[in-house]
């Protein structure tokens, strides 16, 4: 059985703990410190991606590492109005709600099915790296075994293939080039990049067709290489896709359209399948 968590109140009453404890920020009158760094220093010298790494992962990223994280965040900013999170935000915007409410509507659609593949791929990459570290066989063999296990249990292979970009996700190649450059410069070790590519080959061999790394796969590689935990992935995707959600919601608000539902009235996309009307 797992460890039983104490209630916040009983933990506080037992003593030794403040009501809220955080290692992230210390805010006092005239003073803001983020993980030991004065906000003045961060504003003047650190990139947004560097601050994301510092706050989310307690990472002191080098400039090239921060650029790699920034690229991962850029890669997922938008995927068009058909993406559920963006469509929902745009629909909410036509209902007269403030921009922040429309954005929250879109963000709240991000979960395991829409926005969760990055976290799932990180777990797969960490498992592949862990197995290869203790297994005398090659990484290729580990990847083949992992893919076979997933396919036998009818599990999806997160981070590979794309329903729209059949040939190649356009974000794959530029991200891999940046990852290769960071490896060559000694900024990251490359173990998760190698694991991702080995899984890509093993999946293609198992399926008899190419299902390349997609945006979730290449960004998962970056997050693993930087040492971020899988649990951070959905939050990072919210930061990434949130930019697109804000842009789309704002555009829809400015269009003047009102009360736009998911599909036009009278369209055959909506079909009643309930019982016949009683007379």
Interval 216-267: pLDDT, tens: 999 999 999 999 999 999 999 999 999 999 999 999 999 999 999 999 988 8
Average pLDDT over the chain, rounded to an integer: 95
50 and 140, same domain (yes or no): no
123 and 50, same domain (yes or no): no
Under 8 Å between Cβ of 256 and 94: no
Under 8 Å between Cβ of 217 and 56: no
Under 8 Å between Cβ of 81 and 248: yes
55 and 122, same domain (yes or no): no
Burial environment of residue 10 by CB neighbours within 10 A (0 to 12, 13 to 18, 19 or more): exposed
225 and 125, same domain (yes or no): yes
CATH number of the domain enclosing 201: 1.10.230.10
Burial per residue of 177-189, b for 16 or more beta-carbon CB atoms within 10 angstroms, e otherwise? ebbeebbeeebbe
Lowest mean pLDDT among 1-5, 69-73, 100-104, 196-200: 1-5
34 and 128, same domain (yes or no): no
Residue 1: what pLDDT?
A: 45
In-domain check, residue 82: no
Three-state secondary structure call for residue 213: strand
122 and 227, same domain (yes or no): yes
In-domain check, residue 262: no
Residue 31: what pLDDT?
A: 98
48 and 121, same domain (yes or no): no
pTM above 0.85, yes or no: yes
The model's pLDDT over 75-91, given as tens digits with 9 standing for 90+, comes to 999 999 999 999 999 99
Domain boundary among 60, 84, 104: 60
In-domain check, residue 225: yes
**Looking at the 3D structure of the chain, how many domains does it have?**
2
122 and 226, same domain (yes or no): yes
Give the structural domain span for 49: 25-60
Confidence of residue 136 (pLDDT cuts 50, 70, 90): low
């Amino acid at each position: 059985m797992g460890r039983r968590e104490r209630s916040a109140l009983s933990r506080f009453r037992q003593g030794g703990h403040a009501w809220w404890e955080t290692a992230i920020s210390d805010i006092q009158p005239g003073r803001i410190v983020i993980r030991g760094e004065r906000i003045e220093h961060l504003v003047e010298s650190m990139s947004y991606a560097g601050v994301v790494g510092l706050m989310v992962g307690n990472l002191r990223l080098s400039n090239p590492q921060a650029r790699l994280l920034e690229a991962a965040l850029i890669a997922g900013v938008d995927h068009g109005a058909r993406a559920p999170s963006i469509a929902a935000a745009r629909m909410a915007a036509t209902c007269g709600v403030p921009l922040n409410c429309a954005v929250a509507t879109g963000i709240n659609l991000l979960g395991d099915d829409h926005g969760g593949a990055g976290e799932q791929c990180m777990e797969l990459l960490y498992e592949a790296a862990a197995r290869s570290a203790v297994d005398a066989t090659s990484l290729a063999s580990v990847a083949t075994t992992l893919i076979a296990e997933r396919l036998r249990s009818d599990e999806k292979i997160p981070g590979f293939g794309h329903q729209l970009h059949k040939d190649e996700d356009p974000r794959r190649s530029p991200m891999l080039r940046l990852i290769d450059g960071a490896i060559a410069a000694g900024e990251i070790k490359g173990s998760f990049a190698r694991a991702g590519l080995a899984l890509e080959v093993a999946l293609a061999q198992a399926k008899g067709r190419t299902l390349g790394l997609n945006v979730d796969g290449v960004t998962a590689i970056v997050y693993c290489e930087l040492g971020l935990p899988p649990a951070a992935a959905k939050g990072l995707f919210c930061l990434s896709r949130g930019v697109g959600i804000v842009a789309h919601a704002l555009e829809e608000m400015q269009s003047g359209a009102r009360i736009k539902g998911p599909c036009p009235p009278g369209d055959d996309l909506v079909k009643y399948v309930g019982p016949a009307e009683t007379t």
